[in-house]
Amino acid sequence: MAGRKTYLFAFIDDHSRAVIAGRFGFAEDTVRLAAALRPALGSRGVPEAIYVDNGSAFVDSWLLRACASLGIKLVHSQPGRPQGRGKIERFFRTVREQFLVELSTPDTTVVDLVQLNRLFTAWVETVYHTTTHSSTGQAPLVRWRDRLTGPVPVPSPAALREAFLWSATRTVAKTATVSLHNNTYQVDPILVGRKVELVFDPFDMTDVEVRHNERSYGLAVAFRIGRHAHPKARPEHVAADLPTPTGINYLRLIDAVHDQHVADRVNYTAISGSNEPDNTEQRP
């Protein structure tokens, strides 16, 4: 990808070491973290707790809001005490030694993030999840399935969308307007002088819902729009048009195997879950 640096956000199940979510991105920020976490919660269920470090993406208010909305306990590691992050550190070492090393071979050319994340998913599901883990003595996916005895709580699409909306607090001006990142919105005049919560999709700030004391006052009327997306919501620009080398490509072979068996992959929303949802551990 033209030598661009990428970051891997990954969540693993504490008990089984199964990868709950994993995604590469061009930035170590809240948007890329959400891109990894949101589909994982939607397909593999809501854990009781998520253990993260103190990087800027993990102390952002959006993550606290998302976890609170879904009833997830957010636990941060203690500064200067890396012991609690050992399992995720071990996983990242495995990624470096088994996956990333294959990307450096002459026969592997990754043209964009879509391809990189596709190959990573194929490696996780086809190799990592089916290989016996040295610490547990079981393959991560087998250990995950063996522990499950009840339904995994999966959020509804509406609940998941609500959890990953962003919000900001503003005081309504005498003109019944509020400002948000160079945008001005008209709100219900009854809210003049009151603090309101503005809830929005960070990639589309034309639609902003107004809430006060946990009650919705509908959508604000866009009066002046200077910015359509939140300053932190930077899209990833993908480079392409790189030549594809010939030869034996280990990751492509894995990807092909993964495609052949994709119809038989485990349905994480259908398999049973434990009475106590699994904890996950995370670090970029």
Going 182 to 186 to 188 to 194, the CA torsion angle's sign is: positive
Whether 177 is covered by a domain: the verdict is: yes
Q: Which range of residues forms the domain containing residue 127?
A: 7-154+269-283
| Residue 33: closest CA among 67, 79, 2 | 67
pLDDT at residue 81 tops 80: no
pLDDT band at 269 (very low <50, low <70, confident <90, very high): very low
pLDDT score at 237: 57
pLDDT score at 95: 95
Q: What is the CATH number of the domain that holds 129?
A: 3.30.420.10
Is 185 within 8 Å of 222 (Cβ atoms)?
Answer: yes
Phi and psi, residue 78, nearest 5°: -80, 130
Same domain, yes or no, for 106 and 21? yes
pLDDT score at 78: 78
Whether 237 is covered by a domain: the verdict is: no
pLDDT band at 194 (very low <50, low <70, confident <90, very high): very high
Same domain, yes or no, for 119 and 168? no
pLDDT 10s digits, 245-268 = 434 455 555 555 556 555 454 444
Whether 211 is covered by a domain: the verdict is: yes
73-76 sheet: strands from edge to edge:
19-25, 7-13, 280-283, 49-52, 73-76
pLDDT band at 147 (very low <50, low <70, confident <90, very high): confident
The rounded distance, in Å, linking the Cα atoms of 223 and 30 is 28
Taking the whole predicted model, whether its pTM rises above 0.85 is answered as: no
Same domain, yes or no, for 45 and 171? no
pLDDT at residue 62 tops 60: yes
Domain count of the fold of the chain: 2
What average pLDDT does range 105-121 have in this prediction?
Answer: 85
